[in-house]
Structure 1
C-alpha cells in the first residue's frame, strides 16, 4: 500500500467520541467513535476490482500481496490511521428510530489520489458502539450481493458506492435468514466499499434531534467545504444551496433507478447519501416482470412502502426529513419548501424524457404522455420482463407491421399463453400508435436502436444470478462471481458469448430464498 496517500479530514475536523471502549451505548455530542475492526481468524481474498484499486492508488500487483489481505480484512491497521464508526439516526419505514450508526461498517481511512478523496470502509468487520444487539459481522451471501451490485450499478451509469474487495473472514456467523426462528451458521465475509464519504441524511437528523446545533453547523459546513466547494454566499444561503444540491443529486439517482428497474428495498433516511449515490445494498432487486408495486424486502411486504413505483415519493419524504434537520440553522421554511415542491415536478419532467428515450422517441409530440401511460399499463396485464422488453424494443423498425413489431418483443412474456383476447388487443392498439409515432422520428432505425441500447441495458444483476454465484461460492467455487463481474462491466453491449444471462427469471427462482424476496438479515 505504498502509494496510499492518507488524508483523514473527517476525523481531524469533526468532534470524536471521548469514550474509547467498544460497548453498545448512546453516543452524544459527537459524530463518530474510534473503533478497531475485529481481527478475522483466516482471511482469504475472493475477488478485488483492479479499477477501483487503481482509482484509490493501489497497484495491480499489490492486490495479491499479504499486506492487501491483512489491511482490507481488518487484520492490520495502516500507520497514521484510526478506524472509526459514524453516529447517525434515521427514519426506518417512516418511523423515527433514534440513534442508529455504523453497526457493521468501520471507516478504515480516507485517501487522496489524483486530486480526489475516497473513504475506504470495511463492512462486516466487527462490533461498534452502534451495533445494538448485533455482532457487526456480515455473511458471504450478502457480501457477494453488495460487492457485485455496487460495481454493476456503476457500469450501468447509476451513482453508487464502489467495491474494492471481497474477502472471507474464516469465521462462522450465526444468522436467521428469514427471521423465522431458524438461525444457522454461515461463512463470514468482509467487503471494502469506497465512496467520497458515508455522510447520510441521518447524520444531520441525529444532531438536530439532540439539539446539538454547534455540531450540526460544523458538519454542514465541513460537508459544503469538502464536497460542495462551488457553494458560496452567506451561511444561510449556503445551507439552502446545499439542500438543493443534495435534492438535485438524489433526484438524478432515483431517475437512474427507475430507468434500469432497480429497487433499493430499504430507503430509510440512514441509507440516503448526501452525495446522491446508492449506498447500503441490502434486500435490493431488479424488476423481473414490470410491477410498480414490487419490493424485494420481506420486512416491507405488507405495506410496500419501498416498492418500485414509490421510490420518487419516498426520496421526497426523506428529503423532507433532511430539511427538518437543517431548519434550525436556517430558521426559514419557505426556501426549503420550494425545493421540496419542485422535486417531484422536476422528477416527473425528467422521468418523461427518460422514458421516451427508452422507447426510442427523441422528439416531442402531444401524444407522448399517452404512449408512456399506455405501455406502463399494458406491461402489467401479463408478466412481462422489463429488461428484455425494452432491450428488444430497439429491434423494431419504422416500417414494421404491428404483427412484426409484436413478434420482436414476445420473448419478454413469462406466460405467452395469456396474451390473447383483450390483452392481445391492447398490445396491438399500442403498437399501432407507437409505430406511427416512430414515423415522425428523424433518426434512422439503426441510429435510434443505438441510442436506445445506451439507456436500456441487456444485462442486470438479477437476484437469481447473484444467488447462483452465492451457491457456488458456498462450495468454494468463485468462478460465477468472476463471470458476472466481467459481464456486468459492459451491461449495454451484446456480449453474444454471454447470451445465457439475457434470460427471464427461471421458474425455480420464483420462490427460492434469495431469488424472489430478501430480508434485512446480513
Structure 2
C-alpha cells in the first residue's frame, strides 16, 4: 500500500479519522504531539488489530508505520491530545491525574464501530506529574500480550496493535529501555473522568461528558424511565459486573483497580501488575506494590462495587437525589454473583444453574485452595474427565479422598441433566476452560529474550494467545505447569 507524507498534514494512513473526544473542548484535554524516540525498532504486532482498523498488514511492518506508532511522525487527520481525569488510588483520593504518558491520536471508523487509537509511552504531558512520560519495554510487552490474550478469551478489553522499542534509557529501579504500545478501544473514558469534574465542582462539564457517553455508547439510557444519568450508572454497573465475573472465571488478577483504571464501557484497561493465577489462592496479591492486599483476587468483585459507588457519587450532581444512585447500584449485588455462578457452572459442564450448584463450586474452590491446585490446568483436565478417567485430575490433589467425594457429586449432577451427552459436554467445557493463559513466566521469558534483541517469543505468544482454547501443535510448553522460579516473579506498579 502506497503512503505519502505531506509535511503540513502528516502521513496519510488511508483511514477515516474523527476527533470526537476533542470536540468536548479544552477543559477535557491538552493538545500536544508525541515526543519522538531515537532509533525505533519493532517489538511485536497484531495483524488481527490491523485488520480491525483497516490497515494493510504488510504496511504495518514498514518504516512509515514504525515511525507513526513510535510517535515520530505526525498522522494526517488526527488531533493528538492527552486527557485530564482524577481518581481514587488504593482507596484514597489522589486528585488530578490524567494521561501522564498516553496520547490519543484520534478515532477511526471501522466495520466494528469507531475505535480510538492511543500511544502509551509517547512522552511527557501536562499530566505526567513526577513521571517521565515513558513506558519501559517489559511493561509494554506485558500490556501488548495481555490485551490480545484477554480478547482471545472473550473478555471485554482494550486491544493492542503493536509495540515499538528504542534504546533510549528510562530510569526505574534500574536503567531500562523505552517502548510505545499502540492501544485501541472504542473509548478510553474512565470513572476518573467523571470524578475529575464532579470533585472540581465543574457540573456543566460533568453533564457534557455524561451526555457524550450516553449519546455515543448508551443511547437506551436516554429512553429509560426516570433519570438518564442514573440509568447510565446502572448500565455501567451491569457491564462491570459481567467483566469482573469473567476475570474471576479465568483466574485473572488486575492488580490496580483504581477508579482511574476503570473503563466506563466495562472494558479491561491499563494492564500493569496483572497476573493469571497459577496455584489457586483466593487471597493472592499479584501487585508487589499492594502491601495491604486491597486488590487481591478474592476482593476484586467488592472493589469493583466500591469503584462504582465512587462513580455514583461523582454523578450525584446530575441526579435528583442520592437514592437514585443507590438504586442504580443495587442490581450489581445480584448480577455479579449470578453471572459468576453461571460462568463457573459452565466450566463444570453445567448447562443451567440449579439449587446446590453454588455449594458444589464453593466446595471445589476450598479443595483447590487447600492443595494449591493449578487453576488453569485443573479446569482443562476436568474437560477430559466428563466420561474419561479421573486420575489426571485426581493427581493434582493431596486430599484425594476429598476430591473423590466431590467428583462423585459432580458426575451425578452432570448425568442428571436432561439429554446429557458426554462428548458434547466435554466439547462445551473446552470452549470455556482455556488451555493457555498468559502466565507470568511466559511473559517474563518473552521479555528477557526481547531485552536481548530476540522478539520471536513475543510473536509466538501473541499468535498462541489468540486461540487459547484450541489444541495446537508445538504449544505444549505454553500449557505446562509453571517452573518453580515463577512464584518468585514480582510485578509492581513501576512501568
- TM-score under structure 2 length normalisation: 0.95
Name the structure 1 match of 2:126.
Answer: 129
| 2:295 partner SS | coil
Name the structure 2 match of 1:358.
Answer: 347
Does 1:305 pair with 2:305?
no
Counterpart of 1:440 (choices 416, 420, 429) is 416
State how far apart, in whole Å, the 2-side matches of 1:392 and 1:234 are.
45
Does 1:394 pair with 2:378?
no
Residues 283, 520 of structure 1: 8 Å contact kept: yes
| 2:67 partner SS | helix
In the TM superposition, 1:226-375 aligns within 5 A as: 226-233=216-223, 237-300=227-290, 302-375=291-364
State how far apart, in whole Å, the 1-side matches of 2:301 and 2:197 are.
26
1:363 is displaced (CA, Å) by 3.8
Counterpart of 1:3 (choices 7, 14, 20) is 14
Name the structure 2 match of 1:451.
Answer: 428
Residues 104, 128 of structure 1: 8 Å contact kept: yes
State how far apart, in whole Å, the 1-side matches of 2:353 and 2:150 are.
30
Shift of the 215–365 alpha-carbon distance from structure 1 to 2, 3 Å rule, reads closer
Residues 394, 404 of structure 2: 8 Å contact kept: no
Moved more, 96-105 or 236-245: 236-245
Residues 456, 492 of structure 1: 8 Å contact kept: yes
1:235 is displaced (CA, Å) by 10
State how far apart, in whole Å, the 2-side matches of 1:144 and 1:128 are.
22
State how far apart, in whole Å, the 1-side matches of 2:111 and 2:311 are.
32
Residues 123, 193 of structure 1: 8 Å contact kept: yes
1:355 is displaced (CA, Å) by 0.9
1:59 is displaced (CA, Å) by 1.0
Residues 190, 264 of structure 2: 8 Å contact kept: yes
Q: CA RMSD in A?
A: 1.6
1:411 is displaced (CA, Å) by 5.4
1:424 is displaced (CA, Å) by 2.7
State how far apart, in whole Å, the 2-side matches of 1:410 and 1:173 are.
48
In the TM superposition, 1:84-233 aligns within 5 A as: 84-114=81-111, 116-176=113-173, 184-233=174-223
Shift of the 132–376 alpha-carbon distance from structure 1 to 2, 3 Å rule, reads same
Does 1:475 pair with 2:452?
yes
1:130 is displaced (CA, Å) by 0.7
- How many residues are treated as equivalent by the alignment? 483
Q: Deviations over 1:236-264 (max 9, x none)?
A: 62212211111111111111101111100
1:265 is displaced (CA, Å) by 0.2
Shift of the 411–85 alpha-carbon distance from structure 1 to 2, 3 Å rule, reads farther
1:99 is displaced (CA, Å) by 0.5
- TM-score under structure 1 length normalisation: 0.90
State how far apart, in whole Å, the 2-side matches of 1:236 and 1:205 are.
22
Shift of the 3–286 alpha-carbon distance from structure 1 to 2, 3 Å rule, reads same
1:78 is displaced (CA, Å) by 1.4
Name the structure 2 match of 1:20.
Answer: none
| 1:72 partner SS | helix
State how far apart, in whole Å, the 1-side matches of 2:175 and 2:205 are.
41
1:303 is displaced (CA, Å) by 1.7
1:41 is displaced (CA, Å) by 1.0
Name the structure 2 match of 1:66.
Answer: 63
State how far apart, in whole Å, the 2-side matches of 1:61 and 1:9 are.
29
The runs of 5 or more residues in structure 2 that have no matched partner are 1-11
Name the structure 1 match of 2:392.
Answer: 408
1:274 is displaced (CA, Å) by 0.5
Residues 45, 167 of structure 1: 8 Å contact kept: yes
Name the structure 1 match of 2:440.
Answer: 463
State how far apart, in whole Å, the 2-side matches of 1:115 and 1:386 are.
33
Does 1:504 pair with 2:488?
no
1:494 is displaced (CA, Å) by 1.1
Shift of the 411–126 alpha-carbon distance from structure 1 to 2, 3 Å rule, reads farther
| 1:60 partner SS | coil
Moved more, 333-342 or 118-127: 333-342
